[in-house]
Structure 1
Amino acid sequence: MTDLIVKSAIKDQLADQNVSADFYDALDSEVADLLEKAARRANDNDRKTVQPRDL
């Protein structure tokens, strides 16, 4: 699986928090699911372009 997130960006965003090592894998999985659902919705609406409304 390709990493969809940038760990340093997550660390910057959550600067005041500690982040466990397995958080990144879980977040990456959530993002992959979100992208899959958005692509499916675009296809269901006869579009090849994924748009914000597909989220």
Structure 2
Amino acid sequence: MADLIVKVAVKEQLDDKNVASDFYDALDDEVSTVLENAARRAEENDRKTVQPRDL
């Protein structure tokens, strides 16, 4: 599985919160699912370009 998220960026966004080490893997899985669904939706609409509306 590819790392889709940048851990430092996540940590910065969450500011003063602690982040469990397994959170990053779970977030990466969620992002992967979102991307797969967006690509499927674009394909179903006969497009090769994934657009914001596919989210």
Query: Considering only aligned residues, what root-mean-square deviation do their CA atoms show, in Å?
Result: 0.3
List runs of 5+ in structure 2 lacking aligned partners: none
% identity of equivalent residues: 73
1:19 CA drift (Å): 0.3
Question: Which ranges of 4 or more aligned residues in structure 1 deviate by more than 2 Å?
Answer: none
List runs of 5+ in structure 1 lacking aligned partners: none
Q: How many residues align?
A: 55
Q: Give the TM-score normalised by the residue count of structure 2.
A: 0.98
Q: Give the TM-score normalised by the residue count of structure 1.
A: 0.98
For residue 45 of structure 2, what is the aligned residue in structure 1?
Answer: 45
